[in-house]
Structure 1
Amino acid sequence: MALDSKSSEHSGGDGALVDPIASHPHFHRTESRIAVAGHPIHAMLVAFPIALAMSTLGADALYWWTGDPFWARAALWASGGAFLMGVAAGISGTVELLMVRGIRIRAASWTHFVLAVMLLSILGANWGFRLTGYEQAVLPWGILLSCFAAVFTGMTGWHGGKLVFDYHLGTAPIGKD
């Protein structure tokens, strides 16, 4: 069977597939543009919402186990911190996504973006729900939202890590030009 002209654009002369990103040198420019002294801000900020989302789940579990209101109050603060720091990390990540063509062109970047927006929605709902009464909010809905947040944190973080480790997206260039 002969290759049509459209499929031959994406294959080499020997019929092997050619990566369309590899064929465009400007798509290899994936270094961070939002950085302080070469350190990407998004990468620095994401640790906080990850840790705080997991801390919220831990505090909810400890409240459920002990009944101590301290843990419900700790979960309120942790969920608020997770949401607010997540917004800050999301803003810097969105700017990177939109400014850097080599990041924007990859479908995996958009998967990470969509998961992160979904995670921010869950974190915001979790915090907002607790603002009406943090002790009453824990069981059952607060801990359920915390479980969803933990799952989405894992999925979002896994995809973000894949972008960094597999594609070197949003990192600083190696060496000096």
Structure 2
Amino acid sequence: MGLRNPDSTATIGGHPIHPMLIPFPIVFFLSTLFTDVVFWATGNPAWATAGVWLLGAGILTALAAAIAGVVDFMGDTRIRALNDAWQHALGNVIAVLIALFNWYWRYQYGADAVLPLGLILSLVIAAILGFTAWKGGDLVYKHRVAVEDDPRA
């Protein structure tokens, strides 16, 4: 038998949990950016309120995805040896820390917190997520992390 692919250790029925969870924080954080732009265009404070809730949901779901990601990261030494894994993890930690500050700032100052700082932070988070998503894709498609081994091998 040939070399095995790096394993995902956080699984349900053999299916990796981390890739099942990551779409949620991505959508919540990008939706926050959308609400910021609409708030900027309309001035309607309901969009600022929606942004606070979306940020909160993004942070909570990011923490769930991070738990599964850390279990995978710690579960196979070959994953920890990959620079892409470190860049993916560190970038996501930075994005969530920025999101935490963004949420706190908005919670503290309401709609006044959205422009310009909240919008800028949302743009930064979106850019970081673009980078970390790229690195996550590299982990799967280049390094075959959590890709099922070919039973014929």
> Do both proteins adopt the same fold according to a TM-score greater than 0.5, normalized to the shorter chain?
yes
CA RMSD of aligned residues (A): 2.1
Match of 2:51 in 1: 75
SS of match in other structure, 1:136: helix
Residue type of the alignment partner of 1:132: Q
Q: How does 1:1-177 map to 2 (within 5 A)?
A: 28-175=4-151
Alpha-carbon displacement from aligned partner over 1:77-112 (angstroms, at most 9, x marks no partner): 111111111111111111111111221222221111
SS of match in other structure, 2:92: helix
Query: C-alpha displacement at 1:172, in angstroms?
Result: 3.8
Alpha-carbon displacement from aligned partner over 1:20-77 (angstroms, at most 9, x marks no partner): xxxxx99744121101112211101110111111100000000010111111111111
Greater RCO, 1 or 2 (C-alpha within 8 Å, sep 6+)? 2
CA distance in 2 between partners of 1:75 and 1:135 (Å): 9
Provide the aligned length of Structure 1 versus Structure 2. Answer: 153
**TM, length-normalised to structure 2:** 0.91
| Runs of 4+ residues deviating >6 angstroms | none
CA distance in 1 between partners of 2:135 and 2:77 (Å): 18
Residue type of the alignment partner of 2:57: G
Query: C-alpha displacement at 1:170, in angstroms?
Result: 2.6
- Asked if the contact 1:39/1:172 (under 8 Å) is kept, the reply is no
**TM, length-normalised to structure 1:** 0.79
